[in-house]
Amino acid sequence: MSIEKTTQTKINSVVWSACDTFRGVIDPSEYKNYILAFLFVKYLSDAYKDKYEQYKKEFQGDEERIRRRLDRERFILHPDCSFGFLYEKRNDSNIGEIINNVLEKIEEDNGKKLEGVFRNIDFNSETNLGQTKERNRRLKNLIENFAQLDLRPSLLEGNDIIGDSYEYLIANFAAGAGKKAGEFYTPGEISELLARLLNAQEGNRICDPACGSGSLLLRVANKVGNNNYSLYGQEMNGSTWALCKMNMYLHGNDNARIEWGDTLNNPRLIENDVLMKFDIVVANPPFSLDQWGVDEASVDKYKRFHRGVPPKNRGDYAFITHMIETTNEFGKVGVIVPHGVLFREGSEGKIRQKFIDENLLDAVIGLPQNLFFGTGIPAAILLFKKGRTNTDVMFIDASREFESGKNQNKLREKDIQHIVNIYTQGNTEEKYSYRATYDEIVENDYNLNILRYVDTLEEEIEIDINATQDEIKELETELMDVQKEMKCYLEELGLNV
């Protein structure tokens, strides 16, 4: 008899029910901190259970051999730290304190792999979760909700439960959570598009300096096809950084280096007192971040802003500059930006000009509107590449190819593949793509507005005036005939007209 798989739909259903625990108590944007932490503990417990059953069968029930083998696993989970332990304690009067102790013990037992991931979550907080009686009731409900799930890896349909559940929560609370505190989640199909465009190879060092929950970073790495790569990231929001650490852990990337801090003002990915260099740098940074740290840029010890300093109320080029400065001599950059980055003048225009003069820009890809949570504005992807052997730039207008949704549009597989094919083959396609020369871009004053290069206007149908007049006369004659016929019918009926 086949065992039923645990689908993401079922996980999302439980996650949604768990949200009821916190409704009206904390801000919706904070739900994920509690729910995803609990989801993580449940997964660890079920994964450990999976391993136990595997070794029980392998060692024919020899508990001593089972224990020794489990102690060599990539994560440690003592019985008094498991979800089962919490379930047994769900009626205790100090359940919030018990949960906090379990999370602290999990961190301690697993060393640097999980150090600090639960530091911003307090399940015993009266401020966040209410007074003791109400808090205990809520936490009991939370535990019982997750008890419905079996997250043993052998039963899971997907493998990105933290990322997929995070996306689900963001989608359902987009107004409050999708854009709060500089958070921007990259929908799966856009991550997939970037991953295919960047095409990571074995041995690559891959970095996301605004990594969020880490799903984009993982998607790019997945294209390598094996584990021969290294991952790096930095995230400013503490709770989102913790989710990224959990996400890396769940995917077996225990050695991923994920730093907590402000990339623009305090880059933490440093090697020998200089910025680390990567083969691929990818990001979906906050759009036009205000007050990004222009004052600190003038004393930047890493000399990132030698092309110019972006305006204080728009941090787009600060992120782009950082990304380019952290690539190696043949490195690639993929970054999602608002369209203003393509044509705004002033200091941004000067920086853009230098990128083009240095032959770093490889492609500009326009995306459909309303693809992202929390914002309906259309975005673009900029691809940069060091060591280019030509000076052309590929422009792609993919803004009209998508699946329309009630709240959010979506790129289909055929839309993604169309973009990738055009980019990799370098083809010009009428009303979709154009390979512009360096001289053409200079003639356009370094303006990268896609419509300057890809003509998407539909030609007006030429009207034959004489034929149209003849058609009008014919219609008028037909109308007179119908009116005469109608008059005869009315007279037969004895009606005066």
Residue segments in the chain with a per-residue pLDDT below the cut of 70: 1-3, 158-159, 171, 173-184, 374, 457-464, 489, 495-497
Q: What is the pLDDT of residue 80?
A: 94
Q: What is the pLDDT of residue 178?
A: 42
Q: What is the pLDDT of residue 181?
A: 36
Q: What is the pLDDT of residue 119?
A: 86
Pick from 269, 384, 389, 394: which is nearest to 335 by CA?
384
Which pLDDT tens digit goes with each residue over 382-402?
Answer: 999 999 999 999 999 999 999
Q: Are 56 and 66 in contact, with CB atoms under 8 Å apart? A: yes
Residues 6 or more apart whose Cβ sits within 8 Å of residue 225: 202
- List the structure tokens of 207: 């970095």
Q: How far apart are CA 168 and CA 411, in angstroms?
A: 17
- Residue that has been written with the tokens 């009626």 in this structure: 91
This prediction has a pTM of 0.85
Which pLDDT tens digit goes with each residue over 325-335?
Answer: 999 999 999 99
Q: How far apart are CA 297 and CA 437, in angstroms?
A: 33
- List the structure tokens of 220: 């790019």
SS3 112: helix
Taking residue 129's Cβ as centre, other Cβ atoms within 10 Å add up to 23
Residues 6 or more apart whose Cβ sits within 8 Å of residue 364: 342, 380, 381, 382, 383, 393, 394, 395, 396, 448, 450
Q: What is the pLDDT of residue 335?
A: 98
- List the structure tokens of 68: 């020794």
Which pLDDT tens digit goes with each residue over 219-266?
Answer: 999 999 999 999 999 999 888 899 899 889 888 898 899 999 999 999
Q: Are 162 and 308 in contact, with CB atoms under 8 Å apart? A: no
Q: How far apart are CA 415 and CA 407, in angstroms?
A: 19
